[in-house]
Amino acid sequence: MDARYKSREIERRSLDVDGLKRSFLEWLVYSVGKDARAATRRDWFHTVALAVRDRLVDRWMDTTRTYYQQDAKRVYYLSLEFLIGRLLTNSLANLGITDQCRQALDRIGLNLDDVVEAEPDAALGNGGLGRLAACFLDSMASEALPGYGYGIRYEFGLFEQRFEHGWQVEYPEQWLQFGNPWEFPRPEVLYPVQFYGRVEEFRDSVGERAYRWVDAERVLAMAYDTPVVGYGGDTINTLRLWSARATRDFNFGHFNDGAYMKAVEQKVLTENLSRVLYPNDATEGGKELRLKQEYFFTSASLQDILRRYLQHHSNFDSLPDKAAIQLNDTHPAIGIAELMRLLVDQHGVTWDKAWDITRATFSYTNHTLLPEALEAWPVRMMERVLPRHMQIIYEINAKFLNRSKARAAGDNARLSRLSLIDERGDRRVRMGNLAFLGSHKVNGVSALHTELMKQTVFADFHAEFPERINNKTNGITPRRWLHQANPPLAALITSRIGNGWIKDLSQIKALAEKADDLVFREEFRRAKRKNKKRLAAYIARQTGVDVQVDSLFDVQVKRMHEYKRQLLNILQAIALYNEMRDNPTVSWVPVTKIFAGKAAPSYHMAKLIIKLINDVAKVVNHDPSVHDNLKIVLLPNYNVTAAEIIMPAADLSEQISTAGMEASGTGNMKLALNGALTIGTLDGANVEIREHVGEDNIFIFGLTAEEVNDLRASGGFNPRDVIASNPSLKRALDMISTGVFSPDDPHRYHPILQALTDGGDHFLVTADFSDYCQAQQAAMDLYRDQEEWTRKAILNTANMGWFSSDRTIMEYATEIWDVHPVKPEHPAETET
Ligand code: CR6
């Protein structure tokens, strides 16, 4: 081998400072095409990312090869969303070369923190569901599980949010604009995906009735692979995202003038399929393009999974022993009909056998009980877009209903609830029912949510299949959400208990005994203060508002949704504002209310709440009579990168959804792990957080899920009575309705007031208001006692070990997937 080439080979793997520095300089010139004088911050980011990528390629290939050679059982996580955020810090930390990289850049006269800032935030998701998928990827790689993520390579991620005159305005998020150094395009990994057309019946070679899908439109799915680095860098898994390409026919066709332009237009339209992420969080628009996106990535993924399986096998009998396919919500549920189609129509498997294989391979996670979020595609649309799948769904349904217990009992109402087709009004395919029926396991994402699934949406299915529903409480990766996002606290923890917690978060429990140690408390506070300073600077940059670092940072960051009740929080802020103005001589605990979150572009009520928060903030922040004791900020464009700054700096974590409505929540976990105390309802995973951190270390308030249910059912709740009996609530609402916060348009908030009164206050904001204010008061009182507050904060961090996504993923692996860790073999390293 050419000596120069060989030395470069070694250089590419070198993890020491000199080697890194040399590869940075080489990459800058030969791949980015700049010299050091002309290079921008972005050039340096690309340079560093490419050099870091070099250092993981060998291990990536080793990992993939090991899985292949051992024919290991793989898990395939199918998800329409992966909210991964930035990757540079993550890759460096998981490879364990952050310090070396920092020093290498120092020697070139650059700062790693600046370089990191040039990376765009990959926002291929809306909120919790997408971020959960990203945490799971990290945990699968860190636990050495053979796991693949499959999704869509959206050209536009979740929109960029700006505020114009306090209103949310959406801008396209062009994260790929300057190229993406982490991805490997795989132009040779291409699968056809069809739409429309019709189904033809024919007789197969043995005279059996068979079907083929003809006259369909064809799109190609092209793969882009991103390496997923596990902690320690040993296992490197793959996230495979699909991008739509027009078929080759276009390139080779022969056109006259008119047909040529038409063909080009057609190509552009076809490729729109993977253009943009739908910006709805947990609600469904029912748009045809969305259905096509769902089928597009699901079909490509299944074809890829079967191709991989067939490398080692000649029939499909052992597919369930080699592949576990997890459906992240119902978005990929069409995969059940698609696998049946692939097995029966394309590979000649008999129906019954195909059905057994399908059910043994798939499992399904439900992420919400909100009725507006349960996908139900109009039969007419499904018939047109996916005619063969519609037939298959009818067939699955007919066979199921024929055998069901409900039929045996002659219970027709139950039978119609079990049906895959909702026959009321325009007929629809219930994707949740399809996902349930086609899976061997179905799980909820917190203990409460799973219980409610059994009692509500899937009550009838639960009676039919009592073993199928199980719980897998969500988790978060401690690598990103503590080790990377919170360097001061991470260093402090490591100084006391070693760094084992990064890989095994249960070890963090050992901090509990430090809660009474005054020196440790002092250092814990110092770490928090450092993070608060960083956030205060960020707030000043983003909003121009100066906040007091020593005020109570009261944080509500999440999508804007009525059920999450940002409205309850801002009403309490108004009440507090009034109290402070009424009692100027009292020594108030200074409070900074920090909000962040996007609203779906068509969700008018959520956007109006954004405007209200901004309007209230403007009045309060400029009122000298509160002496800076209260500041309110709404940070624009909340995303993973912003969360990494906010989570470590919070004192109080707002988890105040109407009980029974938040399936789990995961922001609640990030905040508590970083030492924030929760103020929350007994909803989602808050219930389990309380069990772990102890009821003395959390502020619980409000109606329980059961009480909410009873109250709504009884019809005995009149918000007007509640308002009338609570002067501070009444005053806050009066101020809103008389235009105190909107002098330019006094009626602006009429829809909000209407919803709280005549609208019946569906989310029970008024019902929980008084209890919430008391809990807030308790938090402020406690905050005066910094020692006691810190003690509780430490106990929160110490008791959050169970909420690691490593724990969650190992539960999936053993209880649902039957997938086991596989240690990659690294021949390359023994050679050199
Ligand atoms: N919106 C739930 O609402 C949960 C995540 C992840 C959600 C949230 O409580 O933590 O999923 N549901 O399980 C959906 O997206 C449908 C969410 O993020």
Which residue lies with its CA nearest to atom 12 of ligand 1?
A: 367
What is the pLDDT averaged over residues 789-808?
99
Q: How many other C-beta atoms lie within 10 A of the C-beta of residue 340?
A: 23
Does 503 qualify as catalytic in the annotation?
A: no
User: How distant, in Å, are the alpha carbons of 342, 352, 388, 415 from that of 395?
Assistant: 15, 11, 11, 16
Beta bridge partners of 245: 220
What is the pLDDT averaged over residues 686-706?
98
Q: Does domain 124-154+183-474 fall into CATH 3.30.70.360?
A: no
Beta bridge partners of 240: 150, 225
Q: Is the model's pLDDT at 3 over the cut of 80?
A: no
User: How distant, in Å, are the alpha carbons of 48, 134, 262, 796, 807 from that of 139?
Assistant: 25, 9, 47, 22, 9
Q: pLDDT tens for residues 662-689?
A: 999 999 999 999 999 999 999 999 999 9
Q: How many other C-beta atoms lie within 10 A of the C-beta of residue 765?
A: 23
Q: Collapsing DSSP states into helix, strand and coil, what is residue 226?
A: strand
Q: Which atom of ligand 1 is nearest to the CA of 662?
A: 9
Q: pLDDT tens for residues 354-405?
A: 999 999 999 999 999 998 888 999 999 999 999 999 999 999 999 999 999 7
Q: pLDDT tens for residues 91-113?
A: 999 999 999 999 999 999 999 99
Q: Which atom of ligand 1 is nearest to the CA of 373?
A: 16
Q: Is the model's pLDDT at 495 over the cut of 80?
A: yes
Residue 332 alpha carbon to ligand 1 centre in Å: 16
Q: Which atom of ligand 1 is nearest to the CA of 665?
A: 10
pLDDT in the model for residue 761? 97
Does 564 qualify as catalytic in the annotation?
A: yes
Q: Which atom of ligand 1 is nearest to the CA of 132?
A: 6
Q: Which atom of ligand 1 is nearest to the CA of 559?
A: 1
Cα separation, 699 vs 681, in Å, equals 8
Instruction: Kindly list the domain boundaries of the chain, sorted by start residue.
Output: 124-154+183-474, 478-803
Q: Which is the catalytic residue, given 245, 359, 558, 792?
A: 558
Q: Which atom of ligand 1 is nearest to the CA of 445?
A: 13
For a pocket test of ligand 1, which of 81, 445, 560, 683 has the largest count of ligand atoms closer than 8 A to its C-beta? 445
Does 389 qualify as catalytic in the annotation?
A: no
Cα separation, 532 vs 561, in Å, equals 26
Q: Which is the catalytic residue, given 238, 641, 666, 678?
A: 666
**CA 100, 106, 110, 113: dihedral to nearest 10 degrees?**
50
Which residue lies with its CA nearest to atom 16 of ligand 1?
A: 282
Domains 124-154+183-474 and 478-803 share a fold: yes
Q: Which is the catalytic residue, given 514, 559, 611, 692?
A: 559
Residue 540 alpha carbon to ligand 1 centre in Å: 31
What is the pLDDT averaged over residues 431-454?
98
Q: Which atom of ligand 1 is nearest to the CA of 684?
A: 9
Residue 177 alpha carbon to ligand 1 centre in Å: 29
Q: Is the model's pLDDT at 29 over the cut of 90?
A: yes
CA terminus-to-terminus distance, the chain = 14
Q: Which atom of ligand 1 is nearest to the CA of 126?
A: 18
Q: What angle do helix axes 98-108 and 88-95 make, rounded to 10 degrees?
A: 120
Q: Is the model's pLDDT at 249 over the cut of 70?
A: no
Residue 324 alpha carbon to ligand 1 centre in Å: 22
Residue 448 CA to its chain's centroid (Å)? 20
Residue 561 alpha carbon to ligand 1 centre in Å: 12
Q: Is the model's pLDDT at 266 over the cut of 90?
A: no
Cα separation, 432 vs 438, in Å, equals 10
Which residue lies with its CA nearest to atom 10 of ligand 1?
A: 665
Q: Which is the catalytic residue, given 564, 611, 631, 792?
A: 564
Q: pLDDT tens for residues 114-162?
A: 999 999 999 999 999 999 999 999 999 999 999 999 999 999 999 999 9
For a pocket test of ligand 1, which of 329, 367, 374, 446 has the largest count of ligand atoms closer than 8 A to its C-beta? 367
Q: pLDDT tens for residues 742-779?
A: 999 999 999 999 999 999 999 999 999 999 999 999 99
Q: Which is the catalytic residue, given 73, 367, 440, 692?
A: 367
Which residue lies with its CA nearest to atom 6 of ligand 1?
A: 129
For a pocket test of ligand 1, which of 82, 124, 129 has the largest count of ligand atoms closer than 8 A to its C-beta? 129
Q: Which of 690, 673, 714, 639 is nearest to 85 (CA)?
A: 639
CB of 147 closer than 8 Å to CB of 237 = yes
CB of 360 closer than 8 Å to CB of 818 = no
Q: CB-hemisphere CA count at 13 Å for 469?
A: 26
Q: Which atom of ligand 1 is nearest to the CA of 128?
A: 18
Residue 118 alpha carbon to ligand 1 centre in Å: 29
Give residue ranges with CB within 6 A of ligand 1.
127-129, 132, 281-282, 329, 367-368, 373, 445, 474, 662-666, 684
Tokens of 374: 């349960």
Q: Is the model's pLDDT at 209 over the cut of 60?
A: yes
Q: Which is the catalytic residue, given 308, 341, 670, 692?
A: 670
Residue 258 alpha carbon to ligand 1 centre in Å: 48
pLDDT in the model for residue 831? 44
Residue 367 alpha carbon to ligand 1 centre in Å: 5
Q: Does domain 478-803 fall into CATH 3.40.50.2000?
A: yes
pLDDT in the model for residue 282? 80
Q: Is the model's pLDDT at 1 over the cut of 50?
A: no
Does 670 qualify as catalytic in the annotation?
A: yes
Does 585 qualify as catalytic in the annotation?
A: no
Which pLDDT band, with edges at 50, 70 and 90, does 255 fall under? low
For a pocket test of ligand 1, which of 664, 669, 671 has the largest count of ligand atoms closer than 8 A to its C-beta? 664
pLDDT in the model for residue 832? 40
Which pLDDT band, with edges at 50, 70 and 90, does 786 fall under? very high
Does 528 qualify as catalytic in the annotation?
A: no
Cα-Cα-Cα-Cα dihedral sign, residues 401, 404, 410, 413: negative
Residue 747 alpha carbon to ligand 1 centre in Å: 33
Residue 453 alpha carbon to ligand 1 centre in Å: 14
CB of 295 closer than 8 Å to CB of 393 = no
Residue 366 alpha carbon to ligand 1 centre in Å: 9
**pLDDT, averaged across the chain:** 96
Instruction: Provide the whole-model pTM.
Output: 0.97
Considering the chain, what percentage of its residues have pLDDT values greater than 70? Answer: 97
pLDDT in the model for residue 827? 81
Residue 306 alpha carbon to ligand 1 centre in Å: 30
pLDDT in the model for residue 81? 98
